[in-house]
């Protein structure tokens, strides 16, 4: 009985840990500036449009990334963790490849 209880507790802990550590995804789309190109922000910040979804990009805690695309668009492959905050989708970036 004790062994079963310990196994159940271990399984519950493992499931909780797996949910907390969401996996990174790689998304491909059009990268552009929310201010200069899309006219949706007061300051320059990068976005990635994938189909009809728009993701705000964050890299190192900042919305202007190392591969900043300001007044045009560029095809990009972005790897990171998807989050939703205040009804907006964010992609916390770990890698950006601009074509």
Residues 6+ apart with CB under 8 A from 69: 31, 32, 33, 37, 46, 76, 98
CB 24, CB 94: distance < 8 Å? yes
What's the whole-model pTM score?
Answer: 0.76
> Residue 26 pairs with which residues in a beta bridge?
79
pLDDT in tens, 63-83: 999 999 988 999 999 999 999
Query: Which three-class secondary structure state does DSSP give residue 53?
Result: strand
pLDDT in tens, 7-65: 445 444 444 444 455 799 999 999 999 999 999 999 999 999 999 999 999 999 999 99
CB 96, CB 65: distance < 8 Å? yes
Residue 18 pLDDT: 46
> Residue 4 pairs with which residues in a beta bridge?
none
> Residue 58 pairs with which residues in a beta bridge?
92
């Amino acid at each position: 009985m004790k062994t079963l209880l310990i196994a159940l507790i271990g399984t519950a802990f493992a499931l909780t840990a797996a949910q907390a550590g969401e996996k990174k995804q790689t998304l491909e789309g059009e990268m552009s500036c929310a201010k200069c190109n899309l006219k949706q922000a007061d300051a320059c910040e990068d976005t990635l449009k994938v189909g009809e979804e728009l993701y705000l990009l964050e890299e190192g805690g900042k919305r202007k990334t190392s591969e900043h695309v300001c007044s045009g668009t560029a095809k990009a492959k972005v790897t990171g963790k998807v989050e939703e905050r205040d009804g907006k989708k964010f992609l916390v970036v770990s890698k950006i490849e601009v074509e």
